[in-house]
Amino acid sequence: MKIPFLPLILAAALAAGGVLPAAAEKADRDKPMNIEADALRYDDLNQSSVFTGNVVITKGSTVIRGGQVNVSQDAQGYQKAIATAAPGKLAYYRKKRDGVDEFIEGEGERIEYDGHTDQVKFINRAVVRRFKGATLADETSGALIVYNNNTDVFSVDSGAQNSSAANPSGRVRAMLSPRSAASAPAAPVAPAAPQVAPRLRVSPTLGSGASQKAP
């Protein structure tokens, strides 16, 4: 089942899959990737690096954190990052939405970012949240969540590996806030009817009734 991320659906969000549109910060794709870690192993021949220990990646408004991150670059210069969580933790991803004070935040045991396709995958115990400022607006969890920046769409799949004590079935779960009434377009205002000034006519007599309104 395909479902929109913004709160146009309610109960259908609990189905086995979904599509969740969101507009991400487009400029991040062309920003340089900055990385901090405890250790680095670099392979110049294969244009790949392995960062380990409290790894933090920033790329424009995008932030990726993990216990280990493998970064590679293809012949066209596109970068790919694969973040895996430290034991007992989850890898982390955060990105600003374009033109609004909103952020997309996600977690998973493994996060894959592909700069060529501009796509992010959250794998195993995956959770994606949308924040309006600092307020949580929507939250979706599943076994696999794929976020495509080009199409501004999320897809969510369930799986047995997503099962837990709180969710033994492993089904997709979602919490979606209703759209704010303030964001709805205002109804058009009908133009006011033009005011017609009264016409005057000349009276044949002088005095108090010298001018009268025309019928």
Residue 82's pLDDT is 96
Residue 170 has pLDDT above 70, yes or no: no
Residue 148 has pLDDT above 60, yes or no: yes
Higher pLDDT: 87 or 175? It is 87
* Distance of alpha carbon 124 from alpha carbon 154, whole angstroms: 16
* Distance of alpha carbon 166 from alpha carbon 175, whole angstroms: 15
Per residue in 50-91, pLDDT (tens digit) is 999 999 999 888 999 999 999 998 888 888 999 999 999 999
Residue 182 has pLDDT above 50, yes or no: no
In percent, how much of the chain has pLDDT > 70? 64
Residue 206 has pLDDT above 60, yes or no: no
Q: Which amino acid is at 115?
A: G
Domains along the sequence of the chain with CATH: 25-177 (2.60.450.10)
Of the pLDDT bands very low, low, confident and very high (cuts 50, 70, 90), residue 150 is: confident
What global pTM score does this model have? 0.66
Q: Who contacts 160 (Cβ-Cβ below 8 Å, separation ≥6)?
A: 143, 170
Residue 92's pLDDT is 97
* Distance of alpha carbon 55 from alpha carbon 9, whole angstroms: 37
Residue 109's pLDDT is 95
Of the pLDDT bands very low, low, confident and very high (cuts 50, 70, 90), residue 203 is: low
In percent, how much of the chain has pLDDT > 90? 32
Residue 15's pLDDT is 36
Q: In this structure, what token pair is assigned to residue 39?
A: 């250790």
Residue 44's pLDDT is 87
Higher pLDDT: 151 or 88? It is 88
Of the pLDDT bands very low, low, confident and very high (cuts 50, 70, 90), residue 183 is: very low
* Distance of alpha carbon 118 from alpha carbon 25, whole angstroms: 11
Residue 185 has pLDDT above 90, yes or no: no
| SS3 (DSSP) at 115 | coil
- Which of 14-23, 77-86, 146-155 shows the highest mean pLDDT? 77-86
Residue 173's pLDDT is 74
